[in-house]
Amino acid sequence: MAPHNPYVCSVVPPYLLNALAESEHNSEDIRTSARHCLDFSKNYIIKRQRVFAELTAPRGARNAAAPHRHRGFIPDNLLKHIAESEDVDEETRKNAKRDLEHIVSIQAKYQEAQGIAAEPRTLTTLSAPAETETTYRAVYDAHHTQNEGNLPGTVVRVEGQKAVTDAAVNQAYDNAGNVLSFYLDIFNWKSIDNNNMNVISSVHFGKYYENAFWDPEIAQMVYGDGHDFLGNFTNAVDVIGHELTHAVTEHTSPLDYQGQSGALNEHISDTFGIMVKQRVQNETAEEADWLIGEECLMPGVKGVALRSMKAPGTAYNDPRFGKDPQPDNFKDYEVTGDDNGGVHLYSGIPNKAFYLSSIAFGGYSWEKAGKIWWETMQSGQIPPRCTFIQFADATVDKAEELFGDDAAAIVRKAWNEVGVVRKTHA
């Protein structure tokens, strides 16, 4: 029997990992693996918390304290590869050549300003990104390395290139495209930063690695192949939408990754991830199943998904995992020190409010409810340490502004039904 992977997917919430570690229904090697996984996921939670703390720090302190963060821009040698590749369509070749010429000119200006001789440089060495008109995708093979220092790996498929023989590469490429087209077509948002930032993905990370995550410091997606319980990550467009939306949140209204604001951060990722999935499947709010991560549960697991936005707390009930503990009402909210203050646990409360709003509006979820949530994140009215009631009030105000009093009443009713109620004073 193959050895169990010592890590489990970071899209899986810590409370599920903890249940795996403590369940007597699991073998000791699985329990030990889950304990290792908890330590691993904490590393990425710390990274995410650090990134959002940096983004929400006062402007003066931000520049002084902020570490260098690789933004994942396409290096000029890869653009040259795209521009010269016979496997890439002509339009993409022309775009890559145009952007390569632009990058070279930017590099020359940078070098001149620094008083240094011209020499080959990649875009990642520049102090500011060069603007491009095209979003580039690139998928790499990590060759089962478990060392992040070896990422991204070997390039396999780039923007405009035809499908390859590796199914995981094609799924990662296509589903990143589904997320990007959703943001562009529905909200006129270009890539994840509104400036055509490229999207880098690495597949085949680790051996039996049940993991898929957005690394906020190296700015790329990473996918394992999965194993006994979890897998199929490159085919789960809602999970990819969820993870890439964390990056979008960095560029709209950064929410501190702690407590209620952290739960709202997770909620925003679920909300836009589910809308991407519904668009790909061409489902109205009424037709959709509102399940997050249903592709990730392997056969034999007693459950339907990682989370349910329609009915939080019902996604799974397996002796090896425990029962889905997400509450669906704010009356069950309790302050906790676990999971950065319950950022994964309590995201189900606003998730259900979005579901109820979408059902009440009818049609496609992104037409009204999604537009309200998107414009709320763009409004500048969301503080870094936003509470549920503050966010609820902001969505109600935006609903009224966009669609009138009846829409505002629908959104307020949805929040009231999940217990996020504005207090009145006699």
Active site residues: 243, 344
Whole-angstrom Cα distance, residue 285 to residue 233? 24
